[in-house]
Chains A and B, each alone.
Chain A
């Protein structure tokens, strides 16, 4: 297994259908019109020397190494900026070109350190390669002239170093920051010989606008921008392509290794979700895999107040099985269950639900998607017929208007945000509906046409108001609706939204948004060309989450914005495998592919394949499991890769439920918050240690490849298999590919999926079957999956969580770029340098009223509880709204959130909590107690010598 070398064609591909024929060094080649001479040459294997060119970037023409001669044209044009023409005759190498290139290289090297042997890029340096390619043998200028060799290194960024002494001013980093990432954090300062790469205003990288996405490091042809890990370890020697385990974008990376040590993660250009881009998490924040906090040995204890003691795998598995069997014997078959994780692979998720349904003999399986995107699944399946987003990410390139609601892509889905920004810079329009002024409202070179700063909890109202404008101003696509949608349902819906009480004016008091702004935004979405809806947890995590999803679907259908490239309803999924975990039958009422457990023939197919009778009744959802535990009827829970004690709302209720159980089994990398209430701890494996697949937000199934031996001894699916065998339901998979084969066998939408196919084509988007052998990028093209698209009446019902004199502010929660979810991984990396603690964002007006100053301790109290944290006074939030993240367990943000949830799916209402904020002296008693509890319940006995 060697290092995967990706070809750099020097310039981007051209999309034209017309082919142009030319001759390069006597070899005929035909390439699409608009291709550069450089790329055409590369197509036939001719590498023209280059330094400033990269096929990730627009051609620039500054290094002057790629000069060629073209018959009939004067001079020596740069092949990167010269486009092919019919009949062109190109010469890439002759005596004169050789001389000029050598002359240019001689100039470069006259201002470059000669420390190749000790340089971190030694062996992976384009400057070094090019010096070799042009045959530079001598630098006649000497090295005593003006130079930059004494420029100081910038080591402010924890993940990469900037050594300007080695910079050749090719601007690839600057261009990558602009074109690929869209942050514009870098520039060239000064001019001429004084030109130098400058983060911000010649600040260091950490203090600049840099978001540490790594695009500049990736683009740098020398050691000027270099990963700290490469500097410390050395160049990698083998690599494998795998899929990032952070957000739902699903970026492809090359894990570049030395032995079993990760040297770096490099975004993979052939990755169809990220096209070679990355963010600070996937690119750099993988250090948790080897963090000292990681638990690698199984542990058990009798009571949660006891210290843990390490045991062998055999003992741990046997103990687990016997506990569960004991509980089922005592409390009945339904007294145990399992929770799958959106962080684990499809195969692992599938096995957990199989264990519950076949091994435990009930349907008490649920997933963490319950608390994020369950309304998406339900809402979209009801309206369109499929529980998933309608588009691929590439579709955004053809969107003319983006309606972004309840999502903050620059923080939550940064790689996709970069693609949105690129399209917005090209002229697409953006409507943002969000209580906060998120970055996309206004960020360099991007400005939303309209920002509708709604009051938290009024999504359905604002969407009804928009629908009202579209219907009453006759901006609907009547032909589309007639051909594609259920007429009665449409008529019923149209009548409903047309009612005066749903007008922007009537709802203004509810939403807090200027009705004229609503009207303008509605008109833009309906008439601005391809309209694409992107949304996130700000839509789903509400008491009307499902209603809001349906309302979005209604808008898309009414305006004909479903079923082609550039449009659609696109959920931005939170975790890496939310889509996959839902697809894999993690819900208590559904098998794989969203088929109800009560459906006879479906259940039969599983019964035959698994050779066991299955329960036709849906099982318990997570909140119901906890309720049942408190009631004394649910006593054993197997939790794989999920931390409900931090991520789920109303922690007091969660912990009470967990504490009531007799056997809680936690399988995770770390002693997470939930593990404080566990009796068995099974150490899990990281995504680097296993084979499998993840399915991203665009339904794309991608391979996860093992690049190191599991530190805990087993891949997660193997642990599940061991438990299943121990409880008496035999499983005998030798490799996750066999699990996927079973999924494909049992699931029509996955019929064609196999590891072989994925290895061959890279990735596929489901449905992937006979009808679509290599997958389906865009859904509902000719007709909706459910037949006719169905409009649903979306009556706005205010949440019961209301502000009042005692709790006058609305708290909403979300996340930030550098941290991920409950932070279990990112907090164990250098990412904490950017976000050491959760802060409460509060508007200056509200802060002033309460005597709260920037950086001071504040207490946030709700009907559920109270926490304390530091305040950040900012105008990003509107008056009356406060905001925090939930990345740090000590914040215990979910003490404050309520137990209200979505009417259809129980997805919790994280996004709206009435609170009061007041100055405070420090952590609350509850937070202090919790810290103490954490200390006590995490004690591990020193293992006796074996």
Chain B
């Protein structure tokens, strides 16, 4: 249900929480506790594109951290941030199961592997 709402709105609006609670006969508190527990659920809208960069060990062994930091610096963002024009959000993800084709990332749900600093940057910059 929460996934479906996020799918629909891109995030879970605060106003939705009492509605969900009523529908499931839960308290508002419980719904809020669940939503805030899971990192997938956004409380605010994301950018038009979402780039999830893997930060787990296998990708780190292939230099992912340096690549990611370069990109973040270029965009002037921190993890979880969205560019001022609302174009793209950069999020961390811990393992996509693409550990033998590391470093990897997910752009709007599409997987990309064997990234290097340049290809990661073009991936992020070219998403329009």
Which one of A65-73, A159-167, A182-190, A897-905 is at the interface? A182-190
Interface positions of B from 72 to 118, Cβ below 8 Å from A: none
Report the Cα distance A186→B30, complex, angstroms: 7
B37: which A residues are within 8 A, CB to CB? 190-191
> Which single residue of chain A is at the shortest CB-CB distance from B24?
A444
Report the Cα distance A445→B25, complex, angstroms: 6
Residue from A190, A209, A445 in contact with B29 in the complex, judged by beta carbons closer than 8 Å: A209
Report the Cα distance A229→B14, complex, angstroms: 34
Report B67 CB to chain A, min CB distance, Å.
26
B32: which A residues are within 8 A, CB to CB? 187, 189, 198, 200-202
Contact B28 A201 (CB under 8 A): yes
Residue from B18, B26, B28, B36 in contact with A190 in the complex, judged by beta carbons closer than 8 Å: B36
Contact B36 A184 (CB under 8 A): no
Report the Cα distance A444→B30, complex, angstroms: 9
Report the Cα distance A208→B17, complex, angstroms: 13
Contact with A along B7-25 (1 / 0, CB 8 A): 0000000100110010001
Contact B26 A444 (CB under 8 A): yes
Contact A209 B28 (CB under 8 A): yes
A198: which B residues are within 8 A, CB to CB? 29, 32-33, 36
**Within 8 Å of chain A (Cβ to Cβ): is B27?**
yes
Contact A447 B25 (CB under 8 A): yes
Report A772 CB to chain B, min CB distance, Å.
42
B29: which A residues are within 8 A, CB to CB? 184-187, 198-201, 208-209
A190: which B residues are within 8 A, CB to CB? 36-37
Number of interface residues of B (CB under 8 A): 15
**Within 8 Å of chain B (Cβ to Cβ): is A492?**
no
> Which single residue of chain A is at the shortest CB-CB distance from B34?
A187
Report the Cα distance A551→B28, complex, angstroms: 40
Contact A201 B26 (CB under 8 A): no
**Within 8 Å of chain B (Cβ to Cβ): is A928?**
no
Other A-B pairs, 7, CB within 8 Å; known A201-B28, A447-B25: A185-B29, A187-B27, A190-B36, A201-B32, A208-B28, A444-B25, A444-B27
Please, could you name 22 A-B residue pairs with CB atoms under 8 Å apart, sorted by A? A183-B27, A184-B30, A185-B27, A185-B29, A187-B32, A188-B33, A189-B32, A189-B33, A189-B36, A190-B37, A191-B37, A198-B33, A199-B29, A200-B32, A201-B28, A201-B29, A208-B29, A209-B29, A443-B25, A445-B25, A445-B26, A447-B25
Contact with B along A486-503 (1 / 0, CB 8 A): 000000000000000000
A187: which B residues are within 8 A, CB to CB? 27, 29-30, 32-33
Contact B25 A184 (CB under 8 A): no
> Which single residue of chain A is at the shortest CB-CB distance from B39?
A191
Contact B36 A200 (CB under 8 A): no
Report the Cα distance A184→B26, complex, angstroms: 8
Interface positions of A from 416 to 464, Cβ below 8 Å from B: 442-447
Residues of B within 8 A of A (CB): 14, 17-18, 21, 25-33, 36-37
Q: What size tier do the contact residues of chain A reach?
A: 20 to 34
Report the Cα distance A444→B21, complex, angstroms: 8
Report A368 CB to chain B, min CB distance, Å.
37
Most chain A Cβ neighbours within 10 Å, of B26, B29, B32, B37: B29
Contact A442 B25 (CB under 8 A): yes
Report the Cα distance A128→B81, complex, angstroms: 41
Contact with B along A186-217 (1 / 0, CB 8 A): 11111100000011111000001100000000
> Which single residue of chain B is at the shortest CB-CB distance from A185?
B29
Report B25 CB to chain A, min CB distance, Å.
6
Report the Cα distance A879→B18, complex, angstroms: 25
Most chain B Cβ neighbours within 10 Å, of A190, A201, A209: A201
Report B55 CB to chain A, min CB distance, Å.
16
B25: which A residues are within 8 A, CB to CB? 442-447
> Which single residue of chain B is at the shortest CB-CB distance from A188?
B33
B28: which A residues are within 8 A, CB to CB? 200-201, 208-209
Report the Cα distance A367→B32, complex, angstroms: 49
A183: which B residues are within 8 A, CB to CB? 27
Contact A191 B27 (CB under 8 A): no
Most chain B Cβ neighbours within 10 Å, of A184, A190, A444: A444
Report B36 CB to chain A, min CB distance, Å.
4
Report the Cα distance A199→B37, complex, angstroms: 15
Report the Cα distance A198→B27, complex, angstroms: 12
Report B15 CB to chain A, min CB distance, Å.
10
Q: Which 8 pairs of residues, A with B, have the shortest CB-CB distance? A: A187-B33, A184-B27, A187-B29, A201-B32, A444-B27, A189-B36, A200-B28, A190-B36
B33: which A residues are within 8 A, CB to CB? 187-189, 198
Report the Cα distance A188→B31, complex, angstroms: 10
B36: which A residues are within 8 A, CB to CB? 189-191, 198
Report B63 CB to chain A, min CB distance, Å.
27
Report the Cα distance A201→B30, complex, angstroms: 8
A444: which B residues are within 8 A, CB to CB? 21, 25-27, 30
A188: which B residues are within 8 A, CB to CB? 33
Report the Cα distance A877→B37, complex, angstroms: 37
Most chain B Cβ neighbours within 10 Å, of A187, A442, A446: A187
Report the Cα distance A500→B36, complex, angstroms: 57
Most chain A Cβ neighbours within 10 Å, of B14, B27, B32: B27
